[in-house]
Structure 1
Amino acid sequence: MSPIDPHRAARALNARPARGPGTILATLAVWLLLALFTLPALAQNRTTTERQFRGWLEQTVWVRAKAQGVSRATFDAAFAGVRLNWDLPDLIPPGTKPVTPKRQRQAEFGAPGRYFNRGSIDGATRVGRQMAKRHAATLARIENQTGVPGRIILGIWGRESGYGQVAIPHDAFEVLGTKGFMSTRADYFTDELIAALRIAQAGHVDPRNMKSSWAGALGQPQFMPTSFLRFATDGDGDGRADIWRSEADTIASIGAYLQRHGWAAGRDWGFEVVVPASVSCALEGPDQGRTIAAWEKLGITRVSGRPFPAQERRGKGSLLMPAGRHGPAFIVTPNFYVLKDYNMSDLYALFVGHVGDRIQFGTNDFTGRWGNVGGLLRSDIAAMQRGLERRGHDVGGADGLPGFKTRRSIGRWQEKTGQKATCFPDSGMKAALAR
């Protein structure tokens, strides 16, 4: 660590009242002194850490990789020129302790309506229709093999990488190596790093061209390496699963992923519905599912006015109200939760299904309108969740993310206390639940 704490010095300087030009010159002199001491120390610390990183690669990663059939040539090619990426989040350099941020936000669970902004929806739909025409034969073939509709594959492809048009900027071995060596989930990323080496060894992609997101997700479908090994598929018949450059391989891989996670052929993902006031929003969740015919008997109808398809009426459906009473409502099938296996966000799965419908059927926007809710700090939502837990509710963990268990717990608490159930957190609840 630096012999001078620059943060403490900065606080001291900021606490001093201004006393004219002399004080300003003195302040500049102190900052220059800080730089002279601190920057070399930081550089020395990073140099030492880089040496430790190279030692870890040799003593830990190479030993494991070799045992799993990775050659020395592949290993050396993968790490040629690779250094630690100090700009990645959640890093814990050797000899330091993790810092827990006090204020956190997450777009997936922020204001729900923002997730469905005009540009994202229209762009994914427009380009998706172009891709549907360009890859019609491949999409039809993969749908026949897996039972997954082409429009659903397109919805995921568009959300993950803009149909391959969004740049995937990072060197996978730099990202996974850095995070495996010094991150808050080092063991997890080390396993992913070994999997990435196995992918390179199998010849699917040159290791120097293995690009990933900042979190190590690979290629156009954004598979983590262990998912690649399980689900990546050769869609163009060249003997490789090149999810970076081959659109056919990307389509086939997404289809295989969903099939292996239980996609039920012949069923839809869900339907937008009208939920009458007599039906509690606290009935949300897959564990409270019933046949769609039973939901109909409660008075739930499709917003289109059309009846539910006959084969769907016999199957199980679940109530989904991602913004509680402040937004559109849906009856979703088990296939919706297969989409959530790809990304554990209700909004993500809803986006994919909605864009897919727009691509194939020309579906319009949701009839229900998103209310001006959300945008709360995760720490505030977590405080509400703890308050609900103290009252005996199962919120799925106080993680600051308002999933369906939190939403319905809010509804049940509101109903029990004589309030109108909205099933969504708002700032006014925090004080009441803190008691």
Structure 2
Amino acid sequence: MRKPVSPVVGQRCLLVAALSLASFGLLTSCTEPPPKGAAAEHARPTQSFAQWRDGFRVQALAAGITAQTFDRAFAGIEPDDSVVTADRSQPEFTRPVWQYLDSAVSAARVRNGQDRALENADVLQRIEATYGVDREAVVAIWGMESNFGQQMGSKNVIRSLATLGYEGRRPDFGREQLIAALQIIQHGDVPASNMIGSWAGAMGQTQFIPTTYNRYAVDFDGDGRRDIWGSSSDALASTANYLKSSGWRRGQSWGFEVRLPQGFDYAQADMDIRKPMSEWLRQGVRVASGNLPSAPQASVSLLLPAGYRGPAFLITDNFRTILSYNNSTSYALAVGLLADSFKGGGQLAGSWPVGDTPLSRSERIELQQLLATRGYQPGTADGIIGANTRKAIRSFQQSIGVPADGYASTQLLSRLRAT
């Protein structure tokens, strides 16, 4: 938004997409990309925390933070070992997309979201009019990130970020976010004691990291403070402001489920491939249920979250905007389906390959290594099935004459081991 944290201008999810599948979507949200080499061996600090804190104090004061603000915020702060543990964790197993969606778009969450939308109807109407972002999408993110404000994290954000800045694995991220957090405190939006969030520094009802907060948080209820913790109006409007800045198009669907014709070229299931709706229709792609969405000439891409044997979706730029909030296709799909469910939709016509056993992290790394050995250039063997790995998988699939959907499966790994 748990998978620990969740703006245009490149702000992205702190945890990689693999982690976002590992522990369903509360406290996930807007943050920066994971640092390069995030899976590398941890570098131990070479100085005491007190020495690090004193050095960082000089940097903070040079950045405009007052001595009073700094000293109050850091009073009694010591490193948090649980933050270090969470930061270094690399889950071996992740949940497949269908299990993720079962939790994300549960009947209870849909009902809760519908109730919250009714309770906040006036505010949501004003937010929609101000930012041009559909209220259902904003409420869906609210539900995904904090269960509608019920689970915002319990850690002191200053302590968490100081730990990240000190312990050596992501010091640049920790220091940048700490400066931003101190700016928030100095601005008077929230006292340090109330700045509570996730271990990775994501805060409030829709889980902004401090730099994202400083860019996009707004005082929508007019009380003089941007309070994304205690004011749902501020939290929801801030999220809408972020989505608008990231390119949200009002009234455009995030995407829709489709049926693919026999003999379809599954290699076209690539988010880098964008075509007008008319071109997909010409190839025999059909909407799975309901009417053809508006703007039929819009440029859309084909998504196969579970390969050619699972449901297929055509996704729009609004789906990409959700990805800017959390760079996981499973997360963006959950937000879209949850938003649709608030309006009575969200049900899928296709079925998931529930008999598939998802690859473990070790197996994903092995798959990438085998692809590289065979010259397919999947990128770094980090266990993250990203664009380069999917491209390499498609090339291998084409070479052995199977549907080139770019999907990493146990069957694919077996074929690689055998070749």
Q: Which has the higher contact order (CA 8 A, sep 6+)?
A: 2
Contact between 1:91 and 1:179, CA under 8 Å: does it hold in 2? no
1:318 aligns with 2:310: no
In structure 2, do the counterparts of structure 1 residues 113 and 404 end up closer, same or farther at CA, with 3 Å as the change threshold? farther
1: CA distance, partners of 2:104 / 2:293: 30
2: CA distance, partners of 1:260 / 1:192: 20
Per the TM alignment, residue 320 of structure 1 is displaced from its structure 2 partner at its CA by 0.5
Per the TM alignment, residue 385 of structure 1 is displaced from its structure 2 partner at its CA by 2.3
SS in 1 for 2:308: helix
Q: Give the match for residue 162 of structure 1.
A: 147
2: CA distance, partners of 1:121 / 1:91: 27
Q: Give the match for residue 267 of structure 1.
A: 252
Structure 1 vs Structure 2: percent identity of aligned residues?
36
RMSD of aligned Cα (Å): 2.4
Per the TM alignment, residue 387 of structure 1 is displaced from its structure 2 partner at its CA by 2.9
Q: Give the match for residue 336 of structure 1.
A: 319
Match of 2:267 among 278, 282, 290: 282
Per the TM alignment, residue 265 of structure 1 is displaced from its structure 2 partner at its CA by 2.6
300-309 vs 222-231, greater mean Cα deviation: 300-309
Q: Give the match for residue 52 of structure 1.
A: 48
Deviations 1:252-291 (A, max 9, x none): 1100111111112332110011112322222112211100
2: CA distance, partners of 1:391 / 1:308: 42
Number of matched pairs:
373
Deviations 1:322-380 (A, max 9, x none): 11123211000011011001111000000001101111x21142111221235311221
Match of 1:400 among 376, 383, 397: 383
Match of 1:367 among 341, 344, 349: 349
Alignment of 1:35-434 (within 5 A): 52-59=48-55, 61-90=56-85, 104-105=91-92, 107=94, 110-118=95-103, 120-309=105-294, 311=295, 313-359=296-342, 361-372=343-354, 373-393=356-376, 395=378, 397-403=380-386, 405-407=388-390, 409-421=392-404, 423-434=406-417
1: CA distance, partners of 2:379 / 2:114: 38
In structure 2, do the counterparts of structure 1 residues 220 and 155 end up closer, same or farther at CA, with 3 Å as the change threshold? same
Contact between 1:175 and 1:215, CA under 8 Å: does it hold in 2? yes
The amino acid of 2:244's aligned partner reads Q
The amino acid of 2:219's aligned partner reads D
Structure 1 residue runs of 4+, over 6 Å off?
Answer: none
294-303 vs 390-399, greater mean Cα deviation: 390-399
In structure 2, do the counterparts of structure 1 residues 106 and 194 end up closer, same or farther at CA, with 3 Å as the change threshold? farther
The amino acid of 2:107's aligned partner reads D
214-223 vs 49-58, greater mean Cα deviation: 49-58
SS in 2 for 1:288: coil
Contact between 2:257 and 2:314, CA under 8 Å: does it hold in 1? yes
Contact between 1:173 and 1:193, CA under 8 Å: does it hold in 2? yes
2: CA distance, partners of 1:230 / 1:220: 17
Per the TM alignment, residue 50 of structure 1 is displaced from its structure 2 partner at its CA by 12
Contact between 2:165 and 2:173, CA under 8 Å: does it hold in 1? yes
Contact between 1:172 and 1:210, CA under 8 Å: does it hold in 2? yes
TM-score w.r.t. the length of structure 1 is 0.80
Contact between 1:204 and 1:242, CA under 8 Å: does it hold in 2? yes
Deviations 1:47-83 (A, max 9, x none): xx99921222122x21122122222221122112222
The amino acid of 1:78's aligned partner reads A
Q: Relative to total residues, which structure has the larger helix share, 1 or 2? A: 1
Deviations 1:174-212 (A, max 9, x none): 111111110411121111111111110001101111001
TM-score w.r.t. the length of structure 2 is 0.83
Contact between 1:325 and 1:423, CA under 8 Å: does it hold in 2? no
Q: Give the match for residue 17 of structure 1.
A: none
Contact between 1:84 and 1:178, CA under 8 Å: does it hold in 2? yes
In structure 2, do the counterparts of structure 1 residues 277 and 374 end up closer, same or farther at CA, with 3 Å as the change threshold? farther
SS in 1 for 2:149: coil
